[in-house]
Amino acid sequence: VSPSNIVFAGDSAGGGLCIALLQVVRDAGLPLPAGAVLISPWCDLTHSFPSIH
């Protein structure tokens, strides 16, 4: 399947996994997918934003 026909999607923790997978694909020098749909991705695992408290 051509990367131009692939879109990653996820919400919450799945959105964070999509971001992590995109970074792995990029760092490996592989072709990136056409896009990604992230719905409220959980990507701040440090909980450093003030709104979390």
Q: How confident is the model at residue 51 (pLDDT cuts 50, 70, 90)?
A: confident
Joined tokens for residue 41: 């991705």
Q: What is the pLDDT of residues 9-50, one digit of tens each?
A: 999 999 999 999 999 999 999 999 999 999 988 877 787 877
| Distances 25 to 9, 18, 28, 50, 52 between C-alpha atoms, Å | 15, 10, 5, 31, 30
This model's pTM is above 0.85: no
pLDDT at 6 over 90: yes
Active site residues: 12
